[in-house]
Amino acid sequence: MFALVVRRFFQLLFLLLGISFLVFSSMYIAPGDPAAIIAGPTAAESDIEAIRDNLGLNEPFLAQYGRYLSNAVQGDLGYSYQTKQPVWEAIMIRFPNTLKLAIASMIVAVIIGIIAGLVSALRQNSLWDVSATTFALAGISIPNFWLGAVLILVFAVNLEWLPVGGLSSPWYTLDGVKELILPAITLGTASAAMIARMARSSMLEVIRADYVRTARAKGVKEGSVIWIHTLKNAMIPIITVIGLNFGFLLGGTIITEKVFAINGVGRLMIDAIAARDFPMVQGSVLLVAALFVIVNLAVDIIYTYIDPRISYD
């Protein structure tokens, strides 16, 4: 296990190096001048040139990248071109919101997804099954911006049960929980649908396995058959889907964050790209990539607990 973690850590370093080069060069090649955007359309050429000089944008590509890298290695991700704020600080203001939202959405997704998947597997081809698969299809197909807007209109504007948007209260307070409900449902629905599909097919496979039949033949209680013999063994692909989804959610969710006015990493990233704020884009992409790798590592470790036959040593 320890070897796995160490190996992954070194892989992560190389991965981050590669990503930083890719991001840096693609931002460099992409059209759009950060200085012109900072100056705005009303600025004169002299204003733009002064800003370009000030940001070091007139230096050659490798010099810029080299300087970025040497600072980054020392833990300095630089300053935002636009706001002059340290990149790390800007990310850390947003990340807790993204994390909250990702966790809340995963809770919604896992509860709904696994229940729907289980029910439809155990009652294959019943009305339950049809409703659950229909839900899964709808969940995957409905676009977030539409679902979010409808939830806001129904639950916030008309019923006035929940706030329209924002995440300003701590998550452990009632207000904090209420703020999370609509965005978590909006975001969790698609993941729930994916988990439900995976849970259903995986359960159907395991439930027909010989050892399940043997367990039933031996008179094991149905509850134990489902929970211990079937679900646990069906969990591997489900955990994979959960891990992937959680990794994606940690990368920030641009549309949901926008619709619900949540100050998250996704919005930070998209705004930074629009403003050609290179250091900010770079910093947030590196964070997201690192998180993705860490979540995958966690998933790999969880595998070994679910299925002791899996070993990385």
Partner 1 sequence: MKKLNKNWLVLFVLGFVVMLLAACGGSTIPEEAVTEASEEGVEAAEDVDQEIVYAATSDAVGLSPIMTNDSVSSNAISQIYETLFVRNPETMEIEPKLAESYETPDDKTWVIHLKEGITFQDGTPFNAEAVKYTFDKLRDPATAAPRASLLEPVESVNVIDENTVEIKTKYPYGPMLAALSHTNASIVSPTADQAQDLMQQPVGTGPFQFVEWTQGESLVLEDNPDYWGGAPELDKVTFKVVPEISTAISMLQTGEVDFIDGLPSDQIDRIRSLDNVEVLEKPGTPVYYLNFNFSKEMNQDPEFRKAVAAAINRDAFVENLNGLGVRSDSVIGPKVFGYTEEADNGGQAYDPELAKQLVEENGYGDQTIKMLVANRDNYMQMAEIAQAQLAEAGFDVAIETMEWGTFLDATAAGEYDLTFLGWSNVTGDGSELLYPNFHSDNIGASNRSQYSNPEFDELVNASRVTVDQDARKQALIEANQLLLDETATVVMNHGVVTAATADDVQGLKLDPNGQWFLENVTRE
- Chain contacts with partner 1 (rule: CB under 8 A): 30-33, 36-48, 50-51, 53-54, 82-85, 90, 93-94, 111, 115, 118-119, 122, 149, 152-153, 155-157, 160-166, 168, 174, 177-178, 181, 222-223, 226, 258-261, 263, 267-268, 271, 274-276
Q: Which helix (H) or strand (E) holds 75?
A: none
On whether the CB atoms of residues 28 and 39 are closer than 8 A, the answer is: no
On whether the CB atoms of residues 180 and 96 are closer than 8 A, the answer is: no
The residue (of 145 and 312) whose beta carbon lies closer to partner 1 is 145
CB 245, min distance to partner 1, A: 20
The residue (of 38 and 194) whose beta carbon lies closer to partner 1 is 38
CB 13, min distance to partner 1, A: 29
On whether the CB atoms of residues 270 and 280 are closer than 8 A, the answer is: no
Rounded Cα distance, 2 and 12, in Å: 15
CB 252, min distance to partner 1, A: 12
On whether the CB atoms of residues 159 and 73 are closer than 8 A, the answer is: no
- Around 119, how many Cα atoms within 13 Å sit in the side-chain half-sphere? 17
The residue (of 109 and 299) whose beta carbon lies closer to partner 1 is 109
DSSP 59: S
The residue (of 44 and 217) whose beta carbon lies closer to partner 1 is 44
CB 198, min distance to partner 1, A: 19
How many angstroms separate the Cα of 75 from the Cα of each of 5, 87, 287, 294, 295? 21, 11, 12, 19, 22
The residue (of 59 and 222) whose beta carbon lies closer to partner 1 is 222
The residue (of 103 and 293) whose beta carbon lies closer to partner 1 is 103
The dihedral sign for the CA sequence 190, 147, 251, 19: positive
DSSP 308: T
Rounded Cα distance, 123 and 263, in Å: 42
CB 10, min distance to partner 1, A: 34
The residue (of 89 and 307) whose beta carbon lies closer to partner 1 is 89
Rounded Cα distance, 240 and 266, in Å: 23
Rounded Cα distance, 271 and 269, in Å: 5
CB 81, min distance to partner 1, A: 10
Rounded Cα distance, 86 and 79, in Å: 4
The residue (of 104 and 190) whose beta carbon lies closer to partner 1 is 104
CB 5, min distance to partner 1, A: 33
CB 38, min distance to partner 1, A: 6
